[in-house]
Structure 1
């Protein structure tokens, strides 16, 4: 299954990439970056480092530096100042992977149009690149199998009481994607807060003792010490192992207005709702299986 990962690495983005690489069903065609967990320079550098670490034969392309409308917000320290849980020093100093001369949107467009089969997109950062793609090149819509999104929340947020980080960073982009008519899967906070690891899982990963575990374990240990769930891999498993999840087909919209609800994703559950569902919203998952997949992804 051809896959493009649009991301903002980020520790949980790193684990989404590691997981995708471990799954035989997936053929990673490109990793494209966007401003998000850290700035675009760091998300792009981190994507190159991860592609090197995993010896990925795929394109890495730099994407949007700023949201569509609002200026950048100050970054938190959830992912460390380097975006890698403070573990930049564990990666090789020299980056061998070359950055694509084409930007992320052009890269995605070309892969889609050149592919003989439909391509899946895992979008696990702010949706700026994807919104630009769909607006600039609407002809690509028929080439997309599905966009599996980590973002949003049907109940409560994490940046504000209402809004999840990725959608809050660029609500206008999220709104464009949710009104695009492209098939969507949404792994929101209501699901991904359960994407956690136990101390036993960390010990299992450490015992693997390979090059990847020597980087991955310290990276994820720093991250989960801040009570952060490993959100982004859910969007990968939603593609390859849908049986792990329960879901509802819902009509979802994004609030782009100013105020406390900016970036909020809301679903219409009313019986009188006349809008057709535009998204498969994941509601529950098998956490035990999730943990198994994360641990096993480190064994490569």
Structure 2
């Protein structure tokens, strides 16, 4: 079997306590990484950490932990950007240089499940390597600015966090011409993991047991918001790589537009932000994943 060569760039938080707010951080990066570690048709060439769900100083050790405990330490792990792209002062980092070295040797798919900062830095410093990137798979986007990322039934709207934290990085990707695949909230909110699923994972191997453990507080947080499970956002992007036939997708065009910030309560046109919108209007071509096959849940659990 010819394995897909994949580089993972992640803001891995694995259910850690949030740094600047109450509550816990996302766990879905961990699901995406473990799924690809187990995929028979995927070889993980390298993994890099980026700021996002948690600061870089937390994400990087977690990447090392997953590599050591669940991949036998075989994956090179690198530390990347700690903050958003600064177009006035482009600074490289270990992750960017390691990704560049890897791309000089072979073509790869890049799974970018945090802010796209490291990938944008690579494209700005080494534009000649863009043809070595087969595609960049990201978790971001929506069709309209009124497509809110609703969590539970308590009126909470989530950010399009990976995009919101570094708009310029996404613009660099689009303008570079690399193939972009988006797995947005529209598809992930059709997939749910619940207590029974965590109980099932807890009966599995060491990686599955760890996933079940770090997901408990995350699940409880979603239940508190009125849901009965959580959406494993980033695992839809990893699943696109390992088994794209399990997802439903279409070709759209992406563009950035400014509208009132839908995450600000009672926002009377005082706070605005960029939105990454995907439709048939003029823009940058993307593959937009928006649904899953009928038995997706069974296929997802089987992948672990």
For normalisation by structure 2, the TM-score amounts to 0.78
Given candidates 49, 73, 88, the residue that maps to 1:33 is: 49
Contact 2:10 2:114 in 1 (8 A): yes
- Mapped partners of 1:169, 1:241: distance in 2: 29
- What number of residue pairs does the alignment pair up? 259
User: Kindly tell me: are residues 172 and 187 of structure 1, through their superposed partners in 2, closer, same or farther at Cα, counting changes over 3 Å?
Assistant: same
SS at match of 1:147: strand
Contact 2:247 2:291 in 1 (8 A): yes
- Mapped partners of 1:2, 1:184: distance in 2: 16
**Are residue 65 (structure 1) and residue 82 (structure 2) matched?**
yes
Match of 1:87 in 2: none
Gaps of 5+ in 2: 14-26, 88-92, 223-229, 262-270
Match of 1:9 in 2: 12
User: Kindly tell me: are residues 237 and 109 of structure 1, through their superposed partners in 2, closer, same or farther at Cα, counting changes over 3 Å?
Assistant: same
How far residue 246 of structure 1 moved from its aligned partner, in angstroms, is 1.4
Gaps of 5+ in 1: 71-101
Match of 1:238 in 2: 240
- Across the aligned residues of Structure 1 and Structure 2, the Cα RMSD in angstroms comes to 2.4
User: Kindly tell me: are residues 216 and 46 of structure 1, through their superposed partners in 2, closer, same or farther at Cα, counting changes over 3 Å?
Assistant: same
Match of 1:168 in 2: 164
Match of 1:254 in 2: 256
- Mapped partners of 1:62, 1:31: distance in 2: 9
Contact 2:186 2:290 in 1 (8 A): yes
- List, as ranges, runs of 4+ consecutive aligned residues in structure 1 with deviation greater than 3 Å: 157-163, 255-261
User: Kindly tell me: are residues 174 and 261 of structure 1, through their superposed partners in 2, closer, same or farther at Cα, counting changes over 3 Å?
Assistant: farther
Given candidates 185, 189, 201, the residue that maps to 1:189 is: 185
Alignment of 1:48-127 (within 5 A): 48-54=64-70, 55-69=72-86, 103-115=94-106, 118-127=107-116
For normalisation by structure 1, the TM-score amounts to 0.79
SS at match of 2:191: coil
- Mapped partners of 2:142, 2:158: distance in 1: 8
- Mapped partners of 2:150, 2:73: distance in 1: 32
**Structure with the largest fraction of strand:** 2
User: Kindly tell me: are residues 47 and 252 of structure 1, through their superposed partners in 2, closer, same or farther at Cα, counting changes over 3 Å?
Assistant: same
